[in-house]
Amino acid sequence: MATFELTPNEHEHSAAIDQAAQWLATTPPRQRPTPLVPALKEMFGISAVECCAAIRESHLIRARAT
């Protein structure tokens, strides 16, 4: 099994994605800014691709909660 080490930048981005995902999972859709991806980019300092990862992760968080 391969192990991967995160560089400091990768780890910081991973934390920002997690924070964005948690925020999305706990914020009702009507209270979220639109358009969502540019808002997430500004709020959490992440790229568009990372926004998509955060959105995907937020769906998993909500699914596990039910």
> Is residue 63, in this structure, part of any structural domain at all?
yes
> Is residue 38, in this structure, part of any structural domain at all?
yes
pLDDT, tens digit, 9 for 90 and up, residues 16-37: 999 999 999 999 999 999 999 9
Q: How many domains does the chain have?
A: 1
> Is residue 36, in this structure, part of any structural domain at all?
yes
Q: How confident is the model at residue 66 (pLDDT cuts 50, 70, 90)?
A: confident
**What is the DSSP code (8-state) at residue 31?**
G
pLDDT, tens digit, 9 for 90 and up, residues 55-65: 999 999 999 99
